[in-house]
Amino acid sequence: MFDNLTGRLAGVIKTLRGQARLTEENIQDALREVRMALLEADVALPVVRDFIAHVKERAQGREVLQSLTPGQAVIQVVHEELTRLMGGQNAALNLASVPPAIILMSGLQGSGKTTTSAKLARLLREQKKKVLLVSADVYRPAAIEQLRTLAAQLEIDCYDSNAGQKPLDIARDALDYARRHFPDVMIFDTAGRLAIDEAMMAEIKHLHTLLDPIETLFVVDAMQGQDAVNTARAFNEALPLTGVVLTKLDGDARGGAALSVRQVTGCPIKYVGVSEKVDGLEPFHPERMASRILGMGDVLSLIEQAQKNVDMDEARKLADKVKSGKSFDLEDFKSQLQQMRKMGGVDALMDKMPTQMAGLAGAMSGQAGDKAIARIEGIINAMTPMERRKPELLKASRKRRIATGSGVQVQEVNRLLKQFEEMQKMMKMVSKGGMGKMMRAMQGRFPGLR
């Protein structure tokens, strides 16, 4: 989502790093570029003005102008101000209440409330919470059934409401059910509309009064741009919102909503939707997002993903194998691709890598994307176990057989083998000369890496 903004800011950062000293003039030029980049990203104008004013004040201060590395000092200021703009620190859910802690989900139709409710239930279950899902969306066809299906898929309790009931009756009955079944948390999914209207607001206000939730979350589609900010403001005036969930952050919108919604509503962004999968909801960390926007990557989130999804025994076996000098074969290559898929696929990983490393990964893969991984796996699966262990056996006739078996052209098989050879060389460098030698070799092979 932030690709364009990251690209524009990378140019500003490169210019600043090239300055021997900073003056009001070159700071002004840099901030003009930052202002244009933010406006192009659809960040609200009042938010841009406030952001630029804060950065300008700090960038022209004595500690920056007298710094030994003034360019880096300004970049640090921009990073800190981006973090401040998006809330400063991660805002966790407040569940400190007599069970059940009630979370009321609000937002327009199509924003992703129902799937977000299920994703949030899954996250809370990982925290050892007993969760009850409730749907009061009696207006959208199959909305109740959708939540019931997601709950069954995740093996989470779902209250048995139906479209013939009134939302307030569902709320009363669900509260009575919760008192008898003792969930720790009850997530209440409400109806959305295609646009804000009085009837919708009146209904959700009555639900809020009856349920008295400890958390009232506003779910908003990040791809709405400025509309997302305006809608968030309207809901915040009608309800005592405690937080925002931004969905579809993996889309191709310009990302302005993520930078504007916290400032405009005063409500912290608590979660972001990063994919349509049931595990595609993450806590929002302003500092990490600021690093990603500035092309610095999000290494902490990558580590957390690895700890959660990677088979550490498999990773340890591969590390021991490489360290002992044994050959890295196509079975190992396939295993690494499967581990990558568990961590969300290529796109999710590239999004969290520093810009330079993401560029290198793209150059090495030749074709980015999860479809390419599936195609590579298909080609490897078409090989015999002996061919996977000894790729040197793969001559013309074998390649033709593999191409036919996996439904690709022979050129695709050759491309895979070339990529595999590059990976094999790197693994040999790790076993012989360590990471530094491997990085120097990669810089020679891919000049864009600096």
> How do residues 67-115 score in pLDDT, each as one tens digit?
546 566 677 777 788 888 777 777 788 888 888 899 999 988 878 889 9
Cis amide bond preceding 286, omega within 30: no
Residue 320 or 132, more confident: 132
**Which CATH superfamily groups domain 301-445?**
Signal recognition particle, SRP54 subunit, M-domain (1.10.260.30)
Annotate 379-404 with DSSP letters as a single string.
Answer: HHHTS-HHHHH-GGG--HHHHHHHHH
1 falls in which pLDDT band (50, 70, 90)?
A: very low
131 falls in which pLDDT band (50, 70, 90)?
A: very high
Residue 191 or 353, more confident: 191
Closest to 39 measured CA to CA, from 14, 17, 9, 11: 9
**pLDDT for 68:** 47
Fold of the domain spanning 3-85: Four Helix Bundle (Hemerythrin (Met), subunit A) (1.20.120)
> How do residues 205-245 score in pLDDT, each as one tens digit?
999 999 999 999 988 887 766 677 777 778 888 888 888 88
CATH 1.20.120.140 residue ranges of the chain are: 3-85
CATH 1.10.260.30 residue ranges of the chain are: 301-445
Residue 79 or 3, more confident: 79
**pLDDT for 120:** 93
450 falls in which pLDDT band (50, 70, 90)?
A: very low
Length of the chain: 450
User: Given CA atoms 121, 125, 126, 127 in this order, what sign does their dihedral have?
Assistant: positive
Q: Is it true that domain 101-295 has CATH number 3.40.50.300?
A: yes
378 falls in which pLDDT band (50, 70, 90)?
A: confident
pLDDT at 273 over 90: no
Residue 67 amino acid letter: S
> How do residues 328-358 score in pLDDT, each as one tens digit?
778 777 777 766 666 555 555 555 544 444 4
**pLDDT for 449:** 36
Which of 23-27, 172-176, 330-334 is predicted with the least confidence, judged by mean pLDDT?
A: 23-27
85 CB neighbour count, 10 Å cutoff = 23
Burial 185-220 (b: 16+ CB within 10 A, else e): bbbbbbbbbeeeeeebbebbeebbeebebbbbbbbb
pLDDT at 359 over 50: no
Diameter over CA atoms, the chain: 73
Q: What 3-state class would DSSP assign to 411?
A: helix
Mean of the pLDDT values across residues 315-330? 60
> How do residues 397-434 score in pLDDT, each as one tens digit?
999 999 999 888 999 899 888 888 877 777 666 555 55
**pLDDT for 363:** 44
> How do residues 281-318 score in pLDDT, each as one tens digit?
888 888 777 776 776 544 445 445 555 555 556 556 65
**pLDDT for 213:** 92
445 falls in which pLDDT band (50, 70, 90)?
A: very low
Its pTM stands at 0.64
**pLDDT for 3:** 60
**pLDDT for 368:** 47
